[in-house]
Structure 1
Amino acid sequence: MTLIRIARPDELPALVEYPGDTERNAATREYLGQLLDRKCTRPEWCLVAEGSDGRPSGSVVLWTIPGHEVPLAVVLFEAPEDSPETGIALLDAAAAKARELGATELEHVVDSPAQAPQFQRDPQRRGELLRGARFTVVRDGLRFSHQVSGELPADDPRLDFRSLADLGRQPFIDVLQELLADTADARLAADVQRHGLRRAAELLFEETAELRHEPDWWEIGYDADGTPAVVSLPAENPSVPVIGFVGVIPAHRGKGYAVSVVRRSTRVLAANGATEVRGDCDRANVAMARAFRSAGYENFAARLEFSRPL
């Protein structure tokens, strides 16, 4: 039976090292070092499978938002190619640890193609291991990135933006509720099914608010007729500025506002120092994917989001 244990101090932040793969080793070492420094993880949240030489042959690290004590996801999941049982054991151990710490759900994302800092090679095999550990796919998504350079397009003159600082929370919950009523996002639709429309809107607001943002960044854009048309929730996660959430009210779709609101979120983040902005959407949300591309974003990866109830 493979021994799963907490990584020793001398094994941090390297964990599993791959001979001859200096780019991957350096990137993942730096990434874990940053997670530890930012309190996104703790040394006792870094689990390894011990190889025959006593060194890590596999790893899994619990992750959370800075300042939180309950894990939300696993990162840096590595399993020996010749031992799927070890990979599943690592995921089970991470789930047990997260449950002890108060988590009710644990997430993991698999990006392809493989890239820094996690280098998730062989996504099909990773998916099989996750399913073997009772994770299921909750969203098939696309990831987008925009390198901010030069002057950004002007805001859409048809929209009058008012911020969270001016409006308060309630109008944002109302708009999110209207958007979620016919969302094309599988994960958000599942939240509506599980919690009801109003609570799902509140949870979307609250979960996005966990990311760093300022009240004047978050805005509702009003059409000339005075009704809400778009919502823009840009933010910063621990790694990069992001389009936390954007949406167009159903009554105002077909006017090109999806591109306008992506550009607005981008402008807000750029004005606050962002040089790169990332966003994502469900693959089924064709209109939003088109809006990202039209706003100058590049689809740089696909992302499968997995979740396991605890």
Structure 2
Amino acid sequence: MRIAQPSATQLASAATLSVPAETGLSADEVATEIAAGRIRPEWSVLAIDESGAVIGRAMWWGRDTTVPIALDVWDVHAQVPDRGSLARALLDAGHEALSRRGVAVPLPHTMRLPNDWRDHATVAAEMHLKTRAAAAAGMTRVNERLQFQWDADRPLPPALGSLVFAPADDDTFVRLFAAAAEGSLDVMTRRELESSSPDELARAEIDYYRACPGERSWWHTAATTDRTVVGVAIPSATPTNRNVGYLAVLPEHRGRGYVDEILAFITRFHAEQGAPRVTATTDAANAPMAAAFRRAGFRCTETRIELEAP
């Protein structure tokens, strides 16, 4: 068995791999990302057995061809005897290859699981196998997130009319992002505040949403009719779907139901532009936000386990 970086043809052929439980992208989704150039041969490693068959893969992903930002596909064939060791070896080989290209590793990885994954022994075992292998490679932080989706055949959440939405400049959004970080239930936000100031975190968020496929012109503040700003609405997009993006209510205005109107604004904004679906993600620990998605007609489609370095 050898682990090596693939040719473009080998990478495309590795889109399909037999694994005991789906914890990531489907074969069609992997093929789409490869065809779009968001998964590239120079960001990937394959494990190939003596017969030339692919028995493992680790493929990193980037929004463009410049640099990868996440480990997107990471799997070991169901019949490999010591699957945990090969999973770790794929990470080590990939990290070495990326480091030679000047990429800081390890990059985060997300496992996509059914919502009842704890009730399925095979899926739970696969999650634990990957969590252990990732931790050995330095990805020791684990966070559970819920993926939600609103579909165009469902009723739109009502526009209540108590808030006014308006565009604003970057300085305003930096100020509001920093203020919204106080008391946030978002696990990543709380972790980032352990080593960054609210202003630094806010500027990083601005940079992140500017890099997303959504338009900067979509960003809005949310204010009461007396012009008191109470929150932020950042409709965004992924490479495949319109997305809720960033939604926040400022600390002093929480608990008054504004989250429902801000979420309704974002959902209706996308729907009015013809989006067939709107996706969103929140931490499993953020029960109030998950409840808001359900009230707005979003359904929980899957659970995501995020692995990353401290």
TM range, smaller chain: 0.7 to 0.9
Contact 2:19 2:75 in 1 (8 A): no
Q: Secondary structure at the match of 1:13?
A: helix
The corresponding residue for 1:74 is 71
Task: Give matches, 1:171-190, under 5 Å.
Answer: 171-190=172-191
Moved more, 10-19 or 255-264: 10-19
The corresponding residue for 1:129 is 133
Alignment partner of 1:139 is 2:143: yes
Task: Give matches, 1:35-46, under 5 Å.
Answer: 35-46=33-44
Compute the TM-score of the two structures, normalised by the length of structure 1.
Answer: 0.87
Q: Secondary structure at the match of 1:127?
A: helix
Identity level (%): 23
How many aligned positions are there? 296
Q: Secondary structure at the match of 2:183?
A: coil
Contact 1:142 1:302 in 2 (8 A): yes
The corresponding residue for 1:281 is 282
Q: Cα gap change, 1:150/1:299 in structure 2, threshold over 3 Å: closer, same or farther?
A: closer
Contact 1:74 1:94 in 2 (8 A): no
Q: CA deviation at 1:18?
A: 4.6
Q: Deviations over 1:79-121 (max 9, x none)?
A: 244222111010112222333333335010112129xxxxx94
What letter matches 1:268 in structure 2?
Answer: F
Q: CA deviation at 1:172?
A: 0.9
Q: Distance in 1 between matches of 2:53 and 2:244?
A: 40
Q: Distance in 1 between matches of 2:287 and 2:155?
A: 27
Q: CA deviation at 1:254?
A: 1.5
Q: Deviations over 1:31-60 (max 9, x none)?
A: 233223323122222310111212211001
The corresponding residue for 2:45 is 47
The corresponding residue for 2:118 is none
Q: Distance in 2 between matches of 1:108 and 1:168?
A: 33
Q: Secondary structure at the match of 2:195?
A: helix
Alignment partner of 1:148 is 2:149: no
Q: Distance in 1 between matches of 2:40 and 2:19?
A: 28
Task: Give matches, 1:225-264, under 5 Å.
Answer: 225-264=226-265
Contact 1:70 1:98 in 2 (8 A): no
Compute the TM-score of the two structures, normalised by the length of structure 2.
Answer: 0.87
The corresponding residue for 1:212 is 213
What letter matches 1:196 in structure 2?
Answer: S
What letter matches 1:188 in structure 2?
Answer: T
Contact 2:154 2:297 in 1 (8 A): no
Q: Deviations over 1:182-203 (max 9, x none)?
A: 2111111111222211000110
Task: Give matches, 1:17-28, under 5 Å.
Answer: 17-18=16-17, 28=26
The corresponding residue for 1:89 is 89
Q: CA RMSD in A?
A: 2.4
Alignment partner of 1:158 is 2:162: yes
Q: Distance in 2 between matches of 1:218 and 1:9?
A: 38
The corresponding residue for 1:268 is 269
Q: Distance in 2 between matches of 1:182 and 1:203?
A: 18
Contact 2:144 2:305 in 1 (8 A): yes
Contact 1:222 1:228 in 2 (8 A): yes
Q: Distance in 1 between matches of 2:28 and 2:298?
A: 27
What letter matches 2:4 in structure 1?
Answer: R
User: Where in structure 1 are there 5+ consecutive unaligned residues?
Assistant: 115-119
Q: Distance in 1 between matches of 2:27 and 2:291?
A: 36
